[in-house]
Structure formats: structure tokens, C-alpha cells
């Protein structure tokens, strides 16, 4: 059983009494990593310029690995994508790590009650494409980078 957690620490804002906020992601340790097309992040940033429902900002201070990890990759930087599916109110988050010569891969998922066996590459990629093509189906879309 995989018990590795990624704890993402966000920089504190003055109005939040200088306390860092954290969000923990369950590790996705698949034989073959789920690669995210580079166009996903680029398009999401582009759409955020004209769509007030998509927030894009830099605020990741650090990512800490908790548990007993076996590191397959070294990550250059991290990106968090959070969103709510309007139809059912389900909140979802992806932790994306960038790996040299591979690109962006999903390394963690939030919340913890998502059943990992239900996470398959096609469904994740379909969700990413749907966010770009139909952002009105989602609310609270946040793209947070380092």
C-alpha cells in the first residue's frame, strides 16, 4: 500500500496572519506516469487572462514528501491545479511535477477520498481537455505555480 503524501506549502499572505497554508496530495505511483500535455498549462494560463473564473498565480513555497518514498524522478518545479465540477460540486486537485526530458506529470491527487484505482490516464487527460474546452462546466479553477 502506498502511503506517500505530498504536502504543498503555500506562502503566507499578510491578511492571513502570516500563517502558511498547506494542502496534502495522495501520491499517484503508477508504472507509467500520467503525462500532461504542455498545451494544458499554457492554454489554462491563456484562458485565465480573459476568464474571471480561472485564477493563475505563483504561491507554492515548498513541497515536502511525507512517508517512505522511492524517488523515481527529480522534479524541476511543481504546479497545483484545483477545480470544482459544477454538475456535482465535487472538488478535485492535481499536483503536477515537471521532469527533465519527460515534461509535466501528475504525481498527486486531492482529496484523499478519491479511489486511486479509478484514476486512469484517459480520464485525467479527458478532464484536462474538458477544462480547456468547457471551462464553464467548472468553478473555482486555480492554477498555482512555484
> pLDDT tens-digit profile of 86-101?
999 999 999 999 999 9
Give the residue from 135, 118, 113 showing the smallest Cα distance to 50: 135
Give the residue-averaged pLDDT of 117-122: 66
d(CA 107, CA 24): 12
Cα 122 versus chain centre, distance: 16
Confidence at residue 145, expressed as pLDDT on a 0 to 100 scale:
94
Q: Tens digit of pLDDT for each residue in 50-60?
A: 988 899 999 99
22 within 8 A of 10, measured Cβ to Cβ: yes
d(CA 55, CA 137): 15
Give the residue-averaged pLDDT of 72-90: 93
Give the residue from 88, 90, 83 showing the smallest Cα distance to 138: 83
Q: What is the pTM of this model?
A: 0.88
What distance, in Å, lies between the first and last C-alpha atoms of the chain?
30
Confidence at residue 60, expressed as pLDDT on a 0 to 100 scale:
94
Confidence of residue 1 (pLDDT cuts 50, 70, 90): very low
Amino acid at each position: 500500500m502506498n502511503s506517500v503524501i505530498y504536502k504543498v506549502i503555500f506562502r503566507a499572505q499578510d491578511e492571513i496572519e502570516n500563517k502558511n497554508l498547506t494542502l496534502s496530495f495522495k501520491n499517484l505511483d503508477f508504472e507509467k506516469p500520467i503525462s500532461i500535455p504542455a498545451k494544458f498549462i499554457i492554454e489554462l494560463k491563456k484562458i485565465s487572462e480573459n476568464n474571471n473564473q480561472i485564477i493563475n498565480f505563483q504561491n507554492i513555497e515548498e513541497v515536502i514528501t511525507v512517508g517512505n518514498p522511492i524517488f523515481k524522478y527529480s522534479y524541476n518545479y511543481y504546479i497545483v491545479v484545483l477545480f470544482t465540477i459544477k454538475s456535482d460540486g465535487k472538488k478535485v486537485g492535481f499536483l503536477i511535477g515537471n521532469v527533465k526530458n519527460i515534461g509535466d506529470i501528475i504525481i498527486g491527487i486531492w482529496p484523499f477520498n478519491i479511489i486511486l484505482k479509478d484514476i486512469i490516464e484517459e480520464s485525467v487527460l479527458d478532464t484536462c481537455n474538458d477544462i480547456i474546452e468547457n471551462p464553464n462546466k467548472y468553478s473555482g479553477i486555480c492554477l498555482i505555480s512555484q
